[in-house]
Structure 1
Amino acid sequence: MEDVRSVPCCSPVGVENPHLDKMKEDVLYHFSLGTKTHNLPAMFGDVKFVCVGGSPWRMKAFIEYVAAELSMEDPKSEYPNICAGTDRYAMYKVGPVLSVSHGMGIPSISIMLHELIKLLHHARCTDVTIMRIGTSGGIGIEPGSVVVTKTSVDATFQPKFEQVILGKTVVRNTDLDESLAKELLQCGIELNQFHTVVGKTMCTLDFYEGQARLDGAFCSYTEKEKQDYLHKAQEAEICNIEMESSAFAAMCKLSGVRAAVVCVTLLDRLKGDQLSSSHEVLQSYQQRPQILVGYYIRKQLNAKVKPC
C-alpha cells in the first residue's frame, strides 16, 4: 500500500479536471464561497488538518474542542459558520484546522468533497490531512470502541467504490493511508481512554435493509439470514458499518492527500439493531473520535517539523 508520507514536502491538494483552468470563476455553490467573491488563499491557505463529519452541530463542537486543545480558545469567539450563506453544509476554522459537516450518505459527502478539494486547491494548501470522524455500528466489538479504517469495502465485502459516469461504471480504490492509521492507533494507545482498533469498514447505500436491519419499514429476510450475513462480514475482518467511507477514501486518494476514517461504534449489530444506551452514554461515545483526532493534531503540531 502506498505510503503518502513519501510524497515530497509541500505537496499540493490535487484536482484532476482540465476544465477548471478555463473557468473565469469557480463558484463553490454548496459552501456559498467562490474564487471571485472570496480570497480563498487568505482565508484557508494555512489549513493543514481538515476534519469532516455528518452533523453541523458535531462539527462545531469539534472545532470548539480543538480550539481548547490547541490553546487557541477565544472566550469572545463564537466560531462563526463560514458557510452561513447556505443551509447545506457548515464550516468552522481555528488556526490550521478546518471542520466541515458532510450530511448523511455517499451523495452528500461526495458533493461536499468535490467543493472542499477544490477549495483547498484554490487556497494553495499543502501537506493537508483529511479525517472523517463519526459514528457507526460495530460487528462483534464492544460498543464505544473506536475503529480507524484500514480500507473501506462495499456491501459485498469488496474494497472498491463504484460510480456510474456517462453511463459507464467506474471503479475506484478505497484504501486509506496505512501510516496515518498506525499513527492514530498509537495515539489511542497513548490516550488509554477507550478501545481503539484498525480494521475494515463496510460502507453501505442505506441505513436499514442495506445494513441488514430488521426494524425498517420493509424487510425481506429472516433473523437467521441477517445473522449469517453479519457473521460473514465479521469473518472478512469487517469491524463496523457506516455510509460514507468508500467515497471519502476514493476521492481523497485521487486528490493525493493523507486521509483517515475514525468512527466510534454505538452498538454491536450482532446483538441488535436499535440504540438502547442512554443519551449520556451515546454522547460520551460520540466524543471519542474527536478526542483521538484532537490528540493527534496536537501531537503533530507540537512535533518538530522541518520547514518546507
Structure 2
Amino acid sequence: MAPILADSSKSNLPERDNYGNNGFVHVKNPHLDLLSEDILYHFDLGTRTHNLPSMFGDVKFVCVGGSPNRMRDFAIFIHKEMGLEGDGNDITDICAGTDRYSMYKSGPVLSISHGMGIPSISIMLHELIKLLHHAKCRDVTIIRIGTSGGIGIEPGTVVITDIAVDAFFRPQFEQVILDKVVVRNTELHHELAENLLHCSQEIEDFLTIIGHTMCTYDFYEGQGRLDGALCSFSKEEKCEYLQKAYNAGVRNIEMESSVFAAMCHLCGLKAAVVCVTLLDRLQGDQITHSHSVLAEFQKRPQKLIAKFIKKQLHLDM
C-alpha cells in the first residue's frame, strides 16, 4: 500500500496569512520559475502569447460551474446585475480555441466552466490558479456554483459548504502523487461562508443553509444510487448510509468540492461552494422535477452570488 502523507506544500507565511495578506494568489510549484513560457493548454492561453495582466489583472471574483452554457448565462446575468454597458449578450468565450472549458469576463468577474468530477475541475483549477498568479491578480474570491443532491432537505434549498468531506465523512481530500497518497485539508473560508449566508437572508424566494458537502468520485454507485447500470447494495443499505451522512452533518452531495477546497486553500484563495439541491436523496434517486422548475432552481445560487458581488463592489446599496 502506498504511504499516506499529510500535504507538505506549506506556505512560509504565518497561518493567519494563509489567504495572503498581500492579496496575491500563491502557486506552490518552484519549477514554474524555470519555464521560459507557461502554456495554459486547456485554456488556449499562455504567458508569451497573451498579456495576462492586461487581460485579467482587474479580476476580483471568479465563479466556476460545471456547464459551459450555465456559466455563459451567469456571465450575462452578472453583467446586467452590475450595470455594465450593453446587455452582455455579445460576450465572447475567451477559451474559444479549445473545447475543454469556456471562460467569460464581465468586468471584474470571471465565469468559467469546469466540467464534471474531480479530474476535470482539478485540471481547470491548476491553470486558473496559474492564470491568476501570472496576471498579478489580488484579493480574489472564487466561488463554485452548481447543483447537487440534497440529504434531508427540501429540493431547491441552497447549501453553502463549510467543509467538504469524503465518502467516509472525513474533512480531507486524498490524491495519489507518484507512489504516495497525499492528504489535503478541505476546510473552506469561514468568514466568506457567513457573509454569503448573511446575503441570503435578504432573498425571500428560497431557503439557504450552511452544511457539510460530501464529494464523491461517481454519480451512481459512489453516491448510493439504486438506478445505475451497476448496483451492489440494497435499498436498506443505501438509506442507512445516507442517514449516517445526514447525522454527520452532510446536507448535500456533489463531485467537485473536496479538490476545489483543497487547492484553493493551499494557494491563498478565499473560496466557497454554493450549490442548489435538485432532490432529497432520502426520498429517491431520480430527478423528477420539470425542466422549468429545475431551470429556476439552478438560478438560485447565481442570484445569491450576484447579490454578494454587488455588495462587495458597493453596487447594492
TM-score between both structures, scaled by the size of structure 2: 0.93
Q: Tell me by how many angstroms 1:190 deviates.
A: 1.3
- Provide the residue aligned with 2:107 in structure 1: 95
The whole-number CA distance in structure 1 between the counterparts of 2:238 and 2:182 is 29
**Alpha-carbon contact 2:79-2:87 (below 8 Å) kept:** no
Q: Tell me by how many angstroms 1:192 deviates.
A: 2.1
The whole-number CA distance in structure 2 between the counterparts of 1:162 and 1:54 is 22
> Does 2:178 match 1:166?
yes
Matches within 5 A, 1:1-308: 7-8=20-21, 10-75=22-87, 78-302=90-314
For structure 2, the residue ranges without an aligned partner over 5 or more in a row are: 1-14
Letter in 2 for 1:170: V
Distance 1:76 1:134, change over 3 A: closer
| SS of the residue 2:211 aligns to | strand
Letter in 2 for 1:205: Y
Distance 1:221 1:111, change over 3 A: same
The whole-number CA distance in structure 1 between the counterparts of 2:229 and 2:17 is 43
Question: How many residues end up aligned between the 2 structures?
Answer: 302
Percent of aligned pairs with the same residue?
64
Distance 1:112 1:273, change over 3 A: same
The whole-number CA distance in structure 2 between the counterparts of 1:77 and 1:216 is 38
CA RMSD across the alignment: 1.5
The whole-number CA distance in structure 2 between the counterparts of 1:104 and 1:42 is 30
Runs of 4+ displaced beyond 4 Å: 2-7
The whole-number CA distance in structure 2 between the counterparts of 1:6 and 1:95 is 23
The whole-number CA distance in structure 2 between the counterparts of 1:188 and 1:89 is 29
The whole-number CA distance in structure 2 between the counterparts of 1:47 and 1:18 is 24
Q: Deviations along 1:92-143, whole A, 9 cap, x unmatched?
A: 0011000000000000000000000000000000000000000000000000
Q: Deviations along 1:40-78, whole A, 9 cap, x unmatched?
A: 000000000000000000000000000010001414751
TM-score between both structures, scaled by the size of structure 1: 0.96
For structure 1, the residue ranges without an aligned partner over 5 or more in a row are: none
The whole-number CA distance in structure 1 between the counterparts of 2:18 and 2:174 is 27
Letter in 1 for 2:132: L
The whole-number CA distance in structure 1 between the counterparts of 2:88 and 2:67 is 24
The whole-number CA distance in structure 2 between the counterparts of 1:185 and 1:303 is 18
**Alpha-carbon contact 1:161-1:172 (below 8 Å) kept:** yes
Distance 1:19 1:230, change over 3 A: same
